[in-house]
Amino acid sequence: MSDNLLSLKHVSKEYSGNKVLKDINIELKKGEIHALIGENGAGKSTLMNILFGMSVIHTTGGFEGTIEIEGKEADIKSPHDAMAYGIGMVHQEFMLVPGFTIMENIKLNREITKPNLVSPVFGKRLETLDIKKMNMDTRQALDTLDMSIEEYVQVAGLPVGHMQFIEIAREIDKTGLKILVFDEPTAVLAESEAANLLNAMKKLAQKGIGILFISHRLDEIIDVADVVTVLRDGEHVVTKNVEDTNKYEIAQLMVGRSITIDREEGTNKNIVDETILDIKDLHVAMPGERVKGVNLNVKKGEIVGIGGLAGQGKLGIANGIMGIFPAKGEVKFKGKKSALNDPKSAIKSGLAFVSEDRKGVGLLLDESIESNIAFSAMQINNEFLRNSGMIKLKDSKKIRDHANKMIKDLDIRCTSSMQRVGSLSGGNQQKVCVARALTLSPELLLVSEPTRGIDIGAKKLVLDLLKQLNNEGMTIIMTSSELAELRSICDRILIICEGKVEGVLPPDAPDAEFGLMMSGSRHIEGREVNG
């Protein structure tokens, strides 16, 4: 009989042949704060989905392994089951209804009711709400967290820190709460609010609640956690007591891996010392990937990599430059000021973008390959058109010829240039996106998450393509969550953390350096880092 509150034993999960979790073993004791750290794709979200009985797990074949709560096996098939077992979760995105009061939010679907005249006939759902009792419970939960705010205040308009605490209050109000999971709780908080939250966490642990704390901030983990587990590529790397380790070691374990993508040696690239793109103080309002002041200087002919953990802002940079999301700051391309928030002018000046959102921003899924490839060049550079008097009609022959050329050059596997793009494989869809960008004859290509969702074999082809384009003179800015591919072809790599450039590293820098930068532990107060 273990004295473990929660035991995950040999937990594995496969999504259509792709193993995302391999034999994970984690133990959580009563009153312990157990941190979980890992890069993107390490498997943290999948593990939490399993613990919570989310339907996405069960509709894709379930999982292997067992979950034990206080020594007894638990069968969790829905969030409701998880709740019944005493597991609570504080999400990153707040599940709060703005138009309701704090009490109504905390008690959502767990309202306390009193029987009345009609409820015996029509059922429990018609019982009267016991507002008095619910207010009292809410008051108690808020007091536990040292929150003085009144329980009947509306949630809309409250500061973000308060909302986070209301989320927590909701969980601790649930009777029989044994285990509480925090998923990147300090991501949206200011420093003082984050400190409050960590204090609250310690308090809850003191009451005997076991806490699973998912975070990328090494400083916080060292500060508050008792035990830390590092996940990498779905594997359990190590579990250590925090007092037995340090930031450097954790960072290294987070990033270092045995599989690397080999870098081509010998191409001594002569990078001209001519700045082609100069970015100063870029701010981008991309939901989930906010950029808060990035400086970047790109030389003509180089391949610059932009990396960092999910949600830290790396994807926002390219999107901001290309006008997809609102941006402000100063961008100079080829010496001339480039207008922000104007996709047309960005493209016209010689920039092209392959978006990370392949199926959304990247493609018209129901249209043919040839229509997709020709689209941007037609709309912006007036190519592929025939002037018939007042009206510009599409030149089907030119479009087809060009598409066929692209299909040959990029080796796009399809039945014909008229095939619907939605029916292509991920890798080939990606190539169509690249083809569309190349049709614009850009001087600088921005490409985000180039090999996401593509199998190993096709990955190398896409990376080889980028390398080839670069050899032919194209400057490339590549944004990716996979450090390995950045290290395989980039000349230098920027790491973005908290919306700013945390540092720049050569591709062969030690793993630990990357890890520390990604978790923001190298941040020195006040010093601006330029890329």
Partner 1 sequence: MVNVSKKTTGFNDIVKKIGFPTIFIGGFWILLLIAGGALGISINTLLSDTIKRAGMNGILVLAMVPSIQSGTGPNFALPVGIVCGLFATVWAIEFGFTGWAWLFVSIAFSIPLSVVVGYLYGRLLNAVKGSEMTIATYTGFSIVAAMCLAWLMIPFKSRNMGWFIGKGLRETIQLDVIGGDKILSEFLSFTIGGEKGIIIPTGMLLIFFLCCFIVWMYFRSKSGIAISAGGINPKFAKSSGIDIDKGRIKANILSTIMGAIGIIVYSQGYGYTQLYTAPLMMAFPAVAAVLIGGASAQRAKVSHVIIGVIIYQGLFTTALPVANQLFEGTDLSEILRMVIQNGIILYALTQVKGGDN
Partner 2 sequence: MNNENISERLNSSKVTTWLADNIVSLIFVAFTLFGFLVSDGVTMNFFLTELSSRFFRNAFLVLSLIIPVVAGLGLNFGIVVGAMAGQVAIAIVLYFGWGGLNGLLLTMLIALPIATLFGYLTGILYNKTRGQEMIASLMVGYFAKGIYQFLFLFVVGVIIKVPKTHPMIKPDGVGVRMTVDMGAYDKGGLKYALDKIWEIPFMWAILAIFAAILLLQLWKLIRNKKNPVLYRYNKTMTVINIILSLVMIAVSIQAITTESSLMMVRKVPVFTGLLIVALCIFNELILKTKLGQDFRSVGQSQHIAEVSGINVDKTRIIATIMSTVFAAWGQIMYLQNMGTLNTYGAHTQIGMFSVASLLVGGASTQKAGVKHAILGTLLFNSMFIMSPEIGLSLFGNALLGEYFRTFMVYGVIGLALGLHVWRTNKKGKATLN
- Give the nearer residue to partner 2 in terms of CB position, either 101 or 368: 101
Between 22 and 139, CB nearer to partner 2: 139
Burial 250-269 (b: 16+ CB within 10 A, else e): bbbbbbbeeeebeeeeeeee
Question: In angstroms, rounded to a whole number, what is the distance separating the alpha carbons of residues 351 and 324?
Answer: 13
Q: Which is nearer to partner 1, 399 or 517 (CB)?
A: 399
Q: For the sheet with 64-69, list strands across it.
A: 72-74, 64-69, 4-15, 18-29, 235-241, 227-232, 33-38, 210-214, 179-183, 87-90
Binding mask 330-369 for partner 2 (x = CB under 8 A): ----------------------------------------
Q: What are phi and psi of 413, to 5 degrees?
A: -85, 115
# residues contacting partner 2 (CB under 8 A): 34
Near partner 2 by CB under 8 A: residue from 17, 287, 360, 526: 287
Distance between CA atoms of residues 243 and 394, nearest Å: 68
Of 71 and 99, nearer to partner 2 (C-beta) is 99
Residues 302-331 close enough to bind partner 2 by CB under 8 A? 325-328
Q: Which does 379 bind (CB under 5 to 8 A by kind): partner 2, partner 1, none?
A: partner 1
378 binds, among partner 1, partner 2, none (CB under 5 to 8 A by kind): partner 1
Angle 408-410-416 (CA atoms, 0-180°, nearest 5)? 50
Cβ atoms within 10 Å, residue 489: 20
Residue 408 in the binding site for partner 2 (CB under 8 A): no
Q: Give the separation between CA 87 and CA 101, rounded to whole angstroms.
A: 24
Token pair of 320 as six digits: 């901001």
Q: Which of 114, 344 has the CB closer to partner 1?
A: 344
| Interatomic CA distance for residues 188 and 186, integer angstroms | 6
Where helices occur in 12-109 by DSSP H, the ranges are: 44-51, 55-58, 79-84, 102-106
Torsion angle in degrees (nearest 10) through CA of 142, 148, 149, 151: 40
Out of 14, 111, 383, 443, name the contact with partner 2 by CB under 8 A. Answer: 111
Interacting residue with partner 2 among 126, 188, 271, 484 (CB under 8 A): 126
Q: Which does 153 bind (CB under 5 to 8 A by kind): partner 2, partner 1, none?
A: none
Residue 414 Cβ, how far from partner 1 at the closest point, in Å? 6
Phi, psi of 265 (to 5 degrees): -95, 165
- Work out whether 157 is an interface residue with partner 2 (CB under 8 A): yes
Instruction: Decide if 439 contacts 376 (C-beta within 8 A).
Output: yes
Site string for partner 2, 75-104 (x = CB under 8 A): ----xx--------------xxxxxx---x
User: Residue 528 touches which of partner 1, partner 2, none (CB < 5 to 8 A by kind)?
Assistant: none
Residue 182's CB is within 10 A of a number of other CB atoms, namely: 27
Q: Cα separation of 12 and 235, whole Å? A: 9
80 binds, among partner 1, partner 2, none (CB under 5 to 8 A by kind): partner 2
Bridge partners, residue 114, by sequence: 128
Which of partner 1, partner 2, none does residue 285 bind to, with CB < 5 to 8 Å depending on kind? partner 2
Q: For residue 248, state whether it binds partner 2 (rule: CB under 8 A).
A: no
Query: Which residues contact partner 1 by CB under 8 A?
Result: 322-324, 342-345, 347, 353, 355, 357, 360-366, 371, 375-376, 378-380, 382, 385, 391-394, 413-415, 419-420, 423-425, 428
**Contact residue for partner 2 among 44, 283, 400, 459 (CB under 8 A):** 283
State in angstroms the smallest separation of the CB of 235 from partner 1.
27
In the bound state with partner 2, the residue whose beta carbon lies nearer, of 28 and 96, is: 96
Q: Which residue has the tokens 């973000």?
A: 160
**What are the percentages of helix, strand and coil residues in the chain, rounded to 5?**
35, 25, 40
What is the binding site for partner 2 (CB under 8 A)? 79-80, 95-100, 104, 108-109, 111, 113, 116, 124-129, 131-132, 135, 152, 154, 156-157, 283, 285, 287, 325-328
